[in-house]
Structure 1
Amino acid sequence: MAAAASATVLPCGAQAAVASGKPYVLVAAPRETAARGQRDYGPVAAYLTKALHHPVVYRHPNGWLTYELWIWKDRGDIYFDGPQFISWRLHYLHQTLGPRVPQTQDWRLYTWKGSPIRNLEQAATGAVLCAPPVPNFGTLWVTGLFPNPARQPYIHNMHGWKRIFKAVADHQCTLGIGPKLSLHYLDPQHKKVTILRRSRPFPNQGFSLSAKLPESVRAAIVRALLSPAGERAMTRLRKRFAHGQPLVAGHASQYQNVDTGLSAQWGTIYASGISRYLKQDAKREGFASD
């Protein structure tokens, strides 16, 4: 226990840096209710508060527009979300990569068994793709396969990998997207669907740390999260996203160009000034754009 505790002690310089000021804010992609978010991420914030000797609070975004705003304006200090967001922030906001989920993300684009569509060219025009709404990483990967905006499948937004699979198997959708493991579970012998394209293994979800934090604090957060005490604080998070496995140290090079789908939109928005862009959307979700 003593060894685990010592791994989370801040250097003297870092302790001075956090002796005053506002709490550090931990945020995560809004994939759950506020109650479940507090259940899964609250213990991580509570643990980091003790490890850093500085308050850390979990703040739940009220929707994807809010979360996008927080990312663009770097409203958080500690982020946990998908590889596309991590890659974008490393690129545009020069953040520091923290621990990541050890498994890779492998995506599959598929159609129903016996479909006349045999390749991407045949799927480019007129096909209906059932997929989660962007900025889901799998959907971004699929749309990247069709760079010509005049020759793209029509995207029918749908939540739940099982629901998407059933829609394709029942011929309600021409194409579907899903993680490799989910598809293997739903159709291990490929008797109901045919794989059209397999993605490369992408790095998985993880933490990233705002450049607003002192370098020594960022290093202390990484050490704390990778310690045995950090593993215990992340029990629910690890069970939900990592099959219970410990998170591992990440390397920024693993996330290079993973934000390709986001950069097509977000990079332009960020470069041209996000405040003007946000005004048209801010009121719809009940937040201020400044």
Structure 2
Amino acid sequence: MPFFKIRPFILFFISTVFFQQQASAELIFAAPPRESAKQARKLYTPLIQHLSKLLGEKVIFQPSRNWLHYQRDIRRDKFDIIFDGPHFASWRILHLEHNPLVKLPGKLDFYFITKKSSKNIRKPDDLVLKKVCAIPPPNLTSLVLLNVLNSPIREPIIKSVKGGMPKVFKDLNSDKCVAAVVRQDFFNKRLSQNQRDKYRIIYTSGRIPNQVITASSRISKIKQDKIIDSLTSSKGRRASAAILKRFGGKRVKSFILADKNDFKGQNELLEGVILGW
């Protein structure tokens, strides 16, 4: 075949390889689709810009269309740096060799609560086939509930609630369900004593590690250490200030070092509970 006929093919092949290499040089940061894509970009852009400068590589944010797409892309190992819940992080540590870098301080604790007037609801088993208000899976409120009542014939009927803990409590208060799963912090700190006195706690969950940033093994140990050092120091705190306030509250001023051992077993909240995991 004459060279001038081969040449366009060679140029096409070289350019394709070049652009693939360029694309692969980008690190993808991801977080759950809790906000709109526009809101998420505003929230995470300062951190992403900081990481790009810190690592000397372009870090891009890839918002997921919905929870199904987010979970699918996690399982396909599509993301390099992820900020999300301990159950997802635990699964990645176990199956994708992700490394937990930094996490929000504190633990995640949950109560199952019911009105004191519901005299027949006194323990988790009393919720079998009953309507329970919770944020829908894969949120931890519903996963903790399904993990406690972990048999298909013992499952409650989850009334999915959007709008966070205040909306979950509002629906319970309006008798749209017989019980609800709420954060302990919400129950103890956001509700008045008069409100709390009207409810019975029928179950207290174990303490679950807080939300965490994990990194793929595709990122070198040296660069992972850079992220840890930065996000637990002043420069990283400034870049992650909006995230800390959004998910940790006003008192949280910095991420803290994450320990891989803290996340052992948290994958069981997903595996065998939600289809696909």
TM-score tier, shorter chain, comes to: 0.7 to 0.9
What is the Cα deviation at residue 54 of structure 1?
A: 1.3
- Contact 2:231/2:254 (8 A) holds in 1: no
Provide the rounded CA distance (Å) in 1 between the counterparts of 2:140 and 2:226: 29
Matching residue of 1:260: 268
Change in Cα spacing, 1:149 to 1:57, as seen in structure 2 (3 Å) is: same
What does the per-residue CA deviation read over 1:146-167, in whole Å, with 9 as the maximum and x for residues that have no partner?
A: 1221122111111221121122
Matching residue of 2:5: none
Aligned partner of 2:125 among 118, 121, 125: 121
Q: Give yes or no for the alignment of 1:166 onto 2:164.
A: no
Q: Give yes or no for the alignment of 1:223 onto 2:229.
A: yes
What does the per-residue CA deviation read over 1:74-125, in whole Å, with 9 as the maximum and x for residues that have no partner?
A: 111100001111111111111111110002111111111211211122222x
The amino acid that maps onto 2:200 is: T
Provide the rounded CA distance (Å) in 1 between the counterparts of 2:52 and 2:137: 33
What does the per-residue CA deviation read over 1:59-78, in whole Å, with 9 as the maximum and x for residues that have no partner?
A: 11111111011100111110
Matching residue of 1:287: none
Matching residue of 2:17: none
Matching residue of 2:97: 94
Structure 1, unaligned runs of 5 or more: 1-17, 271-290
- Contact 2:237/2:253 (8 A) holds in 1: no
Query: Which protein shows a greater Rg?
Result: 2
Matching residue of 2:253: 245
Matching residue of 2:193: 188
- Contact 1:89/1:95 (8 A) holds in 2: yes
What is the Cα deviation at residue 21 of structure 1?
A: 5.0
TM-score w.r.t. length of structure 1 = 0.82
Aligned partner of 1:34 among 26, 34, 37: 37
- Contact 2:30/2:81 (8 A) holds in 1: yes
* Aligned-residue identity in percent: 26
Structural mapping, 1:27-106, within 5 Å: 27-106=30-109
The amino acid that maps onto 1:171 is: D
Structural mapping, 1:128-143, within 5 Å: 128-143=131-146
Provide the rounded CA distance (Å) in 2 between the counterparts of 1:167 and 1:20: 46
Provide the rounded CA distance (Å) in 1 between the counterparts of 2:192 and 2:122: 19
Change in Cα spacing, 1:130 to 1:21, as seen in structure 2 (3 Å) is: closer
Provide the rounded CA distance (Å) in 1 between the counterparts of 2:22 and 2:209: 35
What does the per-residue CA deviation read over 1:249-288, in whole Å, with 9 as the maximum and x for residues that have no partner?
A: 010111111121201156x846xxxxxxxxxxxxxxxxxx
Q: How many residues align?
A: 251
Aligned partner of 2:179 among 156, 175, 182: 175
Q: Which runs of 4+ in 1 moved over 3 A?
A: 18-21
Provide the rounded CA distance (Å) in 2 between the counterparts of 1:40 and 1:76: 18
The amino acid that maps onto 1:177 is: V
TM-score w.r.t. length of structure 2 = 0.85
Aligned partner of 1:202 among 180, 205, 208: 208
